[in-house]
Amino acid sequence: MPPRTVGPWELLSVLGRGGIGTVYRARHRSGGGFAAIKVLGPSPAVDSTAARRLAREYEVLRRLDHPNVVRVIDAGVAEGFSYLAMELVEGLDLRTWLSPALDEGGPSVPPAGASPSQPSLTEPATPGAPGAEAIYALASLMDEPETEPSGMLPHDGPDVPGAPPAPRPTLDPTALEALNRPGRMARLRTVLAQVLEGLAYIHESGLVHRDLKPTNIMVDDQRRARLMDFGLVKDAHGEDEPLTQAGRVVGTYRYMSPEQAQGRPVDARSDLYSVGVILFELLCASPPFTARDPVQLWREILHVTAPRVESLNPGADRALAELTHRLLEKDPARRPQTAAAVIAALRG
């Protein structure tokens, strides 16, 4: 059974479920403010890697302060449940916010449920929930391995069968017109610039996100993009920390750069590749690579050139289409080298 409370927070409703936990809408029991709480199961049901990722996410986010990056409030362990409290972002994920079905002027997102007031970010954690240290201590009691054997990565041999690519949606003239509507394109440019501003900030902080995808980018009710879910973040200048589940490459294959898919060291340019995948999807209503089978998808990411945007959407913005293909270069050296360079191209 999920808990009713963790630390000072009363859990009200489920906002989403991910690979390492459940996110709840929650209310502070004494202050009354609302937050989003990521909760891991009780310790027997959670491996040490997941707990350390949560602690790492808290440690990273508590030192970041940018309008396009979600803020954290506290973290700790309560009755065996590790948790991370973040500001509650009222809004829509990026894909939904840019859906052609929504108003050209952009959706108006009313606060869900009760008052969306936020607790103070300087509010101290309550006794018994002393931040990341408690989560690390809990993780140290678990026996799950922290490293992933490199032999578990996909291999590129001809003996590995692959499924055919999934069919792309057929875009009739009405659908294409909706995708290319000037109002939608203006909103896309604005929100993408905000995403890149947030990325520039975290890259300048020496970090790589490693899990950028539309569901990890929220647009709040002030139409401000927010980067979310820093559970796979890494230090771009240090050794890669072994905080992945055994036998798995970290990240989401669909949005992963070739170097990340191969388990190689990554830097800011890997995140920019992920931006290219997102931009392709927003321009064409489907991702650049559509294989259902993970191994086949891995091969496409490494070896197949993405189709031209204009071949799927002849009316697409030419500058955005060209920027997309620069971001999707297999060789990191051929991509734009910084988020600031992409912002300049976007605004040029």
Three-class HEC string of 172-195: CHHHHHHHCCHHHHHHHHHHHHHH
pLDDT value of residue 65: 94
| Total structural domains within the chain | 2
pLDDT value of residue 335: 98
Spatial distance between the Cα atoms of 216 and 41, rounded to a whole number of angstroms = 21
Inside any domain, residue 35: yes
Residue 256 is encoded by which pair of tokens? 């992963």
pLDDT value of residue 14: 92
Catalytic residue positions, numbered? 211
Nearby residues of 82 by Cβ (< 8 Å), 6 or more positions away: 39, 40, 46, 51, 54, 55, 75, 76, 134, 135, 138
Inside any domain, residue 104: no
Spatial distance between the Cα atoms of 244 and 88, rounded to a whole number of angstroms = 27
pLDDT value of residue 115: 39
Q: Is 282 helix (H, G, I), strand (E, B) or coil?
A: helix
Inside any domain, residue 300: yes
In this structure, the answer to whether residues 211 and 136 fall within a common structural domain is no
In this structure, the answer to whether residues 218 and 259 fall within a common structural domain is yes
Spatial distance between the Cα atoms of 112 and 342, rounded to a whole number of angstroms = 34
Spatial distance between the Cα atoms of 251 and 49, rounded to a whole number of angstroms = 14
pLDDT one-digit tens code per residue, 50-101: 888 888 888 899 999 999 999 999 999 888 888 999 999 999 999 999 988 7
Buried b (16+ CB within 10 A) or exposed e, 291-314: bebebbbbbbbeeeebbebbebbe
Name the residue range of residue 127's domain: 5-91+111-140
Nearest C-alpha neighbor of 139 from the set 54, 34, 242:
54
**Residues of the chain below pLDDT 70:** 19-20, 43-46, 103-166, 237-251
CATH code assigned at 302? 1.10.510.10
In this structure, the answer to whether residues 67 and 11 fall within a common structural domain is yes
CA 149 to chain centre: 25
DSSP string, 118-159: PPPTTPPPPTT--THHHHHHHHHT--------GGGS----TT
